């Protein structure tokens, strides 16, 4: 059984190939079946081709499709959303995106439609938060995008070059830290909405506190560590011969982590420019 400690990719049996039924070999024939079987010499019945296996190319392609949908909806929201709806659209799309993440994560079988729906909804969120930051700090979106892909590329390079192996202890620490951080940020979000303040992280403008910078650096570090878990899970899934449909789960996990990393980069760059 192959499982991941990434909350998005930790579906049980997601990468476990189907086992043969009791009394059958891996080819579907009982070892006690007589040979030649009854009906020998007659045309063989037409059998349905088995499902293909997950490949790295599939994951890359589906990740590109998912990220493309996200970028497209972000661009549309950027161009067409009225300024008065920036904040409501950002909050609503963020909450809906979170719900879709939970639905996809707890489903046994990944749904390509739900993955693309998440990309579309989260694209609205990315478009709105990017627009707000860009209006205050011109050029910040391009800087955050470059920083995000540089961090992801550096993480992948380090994973391959240094042959990083994900241990159970490492996975557990990252998982617990990620869940704890997510819980803290949820409480902070509710507090900031209720009080009208920026919470622990401060507002988009105004003075920068060491606490706010520290939280952003911690979040970026956790996002990078989750990328390591993503890479490890996908690599093991390909090696284990996971069903081809699981490529969508791998693409989904990468997209969720990349969105998180981009938002944190956006915040950090804004602190550096104040």
Residue 18 pLDDT > 50: no
Q: What is the model's pLDDT at position 42?
A: 52
Q: Which helix (H) or strand (E) holds 238?
A: helix 210-240
Helix axes 210-240, 247-272, angle to 10 degrees: 160
For the chain, the distance separating the N- and C-terminal CA atoms, rounded to the nearest angstrom, is 49
In a domain, 29, yes or no: no
Count of domains observed in the chain:
1
Question: Can you read off the two tokens belonging to residue 210?
Answer: 């060491």
In a domain, 14, yes or no: no
- Rounded to the nearest integer, the mean pLDDT of the chain is 84
Stretch among 12-26, 54-68, 73-87, 229-243 having the lowest mean pLDDT:
12-26
Alpha-carbon distance of 131 to 127, in angstroms, equals: 6
Q: What is the model's pLDDT at position 17?
A: 42
pTM for this prediction: 0.81
Alpha-carbon distance of 253 to 260, in angstroms, equals: 11
Stretch among 1-15, 99-113, 140-154 having the lowest mean pLDDT:
1-15
Distances in whole angstroms, Cα of residue 97 to Cα of each of 24, 79, 244: 44, 20, 25
In a domain, 31, yes or no: no
Q: Are 162 and 199 in contact (CB under 8 A)?
A: no
Q: What is the model's pLDDT at position 272?
A: 92
Which whole number is the average pLDDT over 172-184? 95
In a domain, 17, yes or no: no
What is the DSSP-derived secondary structure letter of residue 6?
S
In a domain, 46, yes or no: no
Q: What is the model's pLDDT at position 89?
A: 94
Residue 35 pLDDT > 50: no
Q: What is the dihedral of CA 185, 190, 191, 196, to 10 degrees?
A: 120
What is the DSSP-derived secondary structure letter of residue 27?
T
Alpha-carbon distance of 66 to 61, in angstroms, equals: 9
In a domain, 156, yes or no: yes
What is the DSSP-derived secondary structure letter of residue 199?
G
Q: What percent of the chain has a predicted confidence (pLDDT) above 70?
A: 81
In a domain, 19, yes or no: no
Residue 45 pLDDT > 90: no
User: Which of 51-60, 79-88, 145-154 is most confident?
Assistant: 145-154
Residue 81 pLDDT > 80: yes
Contacts of 97 (CB under 8 A, 6+ apart): 118, 121, 122, 125
Contacts of 8 (CB under 8 A, 6+ apart): 101, 104, 105, 249, 252, 253, 256, 257
Q: Are 208 and 202 in contact (CB under 8 A)?
A: yes
In a domain, 20, yes or no: no
Radius of gyration of the chain (CA): 23
Residue 247 pLDDT > 60: yes
Answer with the residue of higher pLDDT: 192 or 170.
Answer: 170
Answer with the residue of higher pLDDT: 85 or 37.
Answer: 85
Q: What is the model's pLDDT at position 43?
A: 53
Full domain range(s) for residue 239 = 56-272
Q: What percent of the chain has a predicted confidence (pLDDT) above 90?
A: 62
């Amino acid at each position: 059984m192959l499982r991941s400690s990434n909350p998005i990719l930790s579906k049980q049996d997601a990468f476990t190939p189907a086992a043969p039924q009791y009394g059958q070999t891996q080819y579907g024939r009982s070892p006690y079946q007589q040979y030649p079987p009854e009906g020998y010499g007659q045309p063989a019945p037409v059998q349905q081709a088995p499902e293909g296996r997950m490949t790295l190319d599939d994951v890359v392609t589906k990740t590109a499709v998912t990220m493309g949908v996200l970028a497209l909806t972000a661009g549309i929201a950027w161009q067409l959303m009225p300024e008065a709806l920036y904040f409501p659209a950002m909050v609503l799309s963020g909450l809906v995106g979170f719900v879709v993440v939970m639905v996809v994560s707890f489903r046994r079988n990944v749904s390509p439609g739900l993955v693309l729906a998440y990309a579309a909804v989260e694209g609205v969120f990315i478009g709105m938060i990017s627009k707000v930051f860009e209006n205050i700090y011109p050029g910040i979106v391009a800087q955050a995008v470059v920083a995000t892909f540089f961090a992801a590329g550096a993480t992948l390079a380090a994973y391959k070059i240094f042959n990083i192996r994900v241990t159970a202890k490492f996975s557990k620490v990252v998982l617990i830290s990620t869940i704890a951080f997510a819980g803290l940020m949820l409480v902070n979000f509710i507090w900031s909405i209720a009080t009208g303040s920026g919470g622990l992280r401060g507002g988009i403008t105004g003075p920068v506190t060491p606490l706010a910078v520290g939280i952003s650096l911690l979040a970026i570090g956790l996002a990078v560590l989750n990328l390591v878990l993503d890479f490890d899970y996908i690599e093991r899934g390909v090696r284990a011969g996971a069903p081809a449909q699981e490529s969508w789960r791998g693409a989904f996990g990468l997209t969720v982590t990349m969105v998180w990393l981009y938002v944190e980069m956006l915040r950090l760059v804004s602190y550096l420019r104040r």
